[in-house]
């Protein structure tokens, strides 16, 4: 597989993480580059680790992973989205969730990188240099996520409560899109 093809795969895999990063940036009162880097590291790392895991699993588990990956992603994104919507409707003083704690970020990173697991299985079939591929995918995701947090933050003050509501809705819609595409109900 050529570098350009791996770069395109990396960009495609990073899009779900990019949308989540926009949501995280929306919820920041002021741009926090340390948190933005932490967020980007979670997503970049998981987008790199999941193809390795998929590569190791190889063809023996292709059917199992492909048959449930959409359900896993949907459930995780829907739960996180539901919590964000719930927080957006809360009238307490602290309405922003720019939290980058381990539990929050690990769920988001796993939910947005499930498809990368299947890509890793494909890499095994194509005998792709996995270390080269995951380095490219991880770096692309990292930088795309940094941009996503910054873009989201730029609009965060204008939307306030609506930012989390929109973020939660986006997460649920991403999960629904993944589910519907894999169930062949529709393609977006």
Q: Is residue 89 part of a domain?
A: no
Ordered DSSP codes for the chain:
--HHHHHHHHHHHHHHHHHHHHHHHHT-SS--HHHHHHHHHHHHHHHHHHHHHHHHHGGGGHHHHHHHHHHHHHHHHHHHHHHHHHHHT--SS--------HHHHHHHHHHHHHHHHHHHHHHHHHT--HHHHHHHHHHHHHHHHHHHHHHHHHHHHHHTHHHHHHHHHHHHHHHHHHHHHHTTS---
End-to-end CA distance of the chain: 26
User: Is 91 part of a structural domain of the chain?
Assistant: no
- pLDDT tens for residues 27-73? 888 888 999 999 999 999 999 999 999 888 875 665 665 677 677 76
pTM of the entire predicted model: 0.72
Residues of the chain with pLDDT under 70: 59-66, 69, 73, 76, 84, 91-98, 156-164, 166-167, 185-188
Would 61 be classed as within a structural domain? Answer: yes
Q: Is residue 169 part of a domain?
A: no
State which residues form the domain around 10.
3-73+97-159
Which pLDDT belongs to residue 78? 80
Tally the domains of the chain.
1
């Amino acid at each position: 597989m050529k570098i350009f093809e791996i770069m395109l795969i990396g960009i495609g895999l990073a899009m779900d993480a990019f949308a989540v990063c926009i949501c995280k940036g929306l919820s920041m009162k002021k741009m926090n580059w340390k948190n933005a880097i932490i967020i980007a590291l979670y997503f970049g790392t998981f987008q790199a680790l999941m193809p390795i895991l998929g590569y190791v699993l190889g063809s023996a588990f292709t059917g199992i992973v492909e048959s449930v990956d959409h359900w896993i992603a949907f459930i995780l994104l829907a739960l996180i989205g539901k919590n964000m919507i719930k927080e957006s409707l809360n009238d307490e003083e602290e309405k922003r969730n720019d939290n980058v704690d381990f539990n929050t970020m690990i769920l988001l990173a796993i939910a947005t990188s499930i498809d990368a697991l299947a890509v890793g299985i494909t890499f095994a079939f194509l005998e792709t240099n996995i270390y080269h591929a995951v380095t490219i995918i991880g770096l692309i995701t990292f930088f795309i996520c940094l941009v996503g947090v910054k873009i989201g933050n730029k609009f965060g003050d204008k939307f306030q409560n609506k930012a989390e509501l929109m973020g939660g809705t986006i997460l649920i819609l991403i999960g629904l899109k993944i589910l519907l595409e894999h169930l062949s109900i529709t393609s977006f």
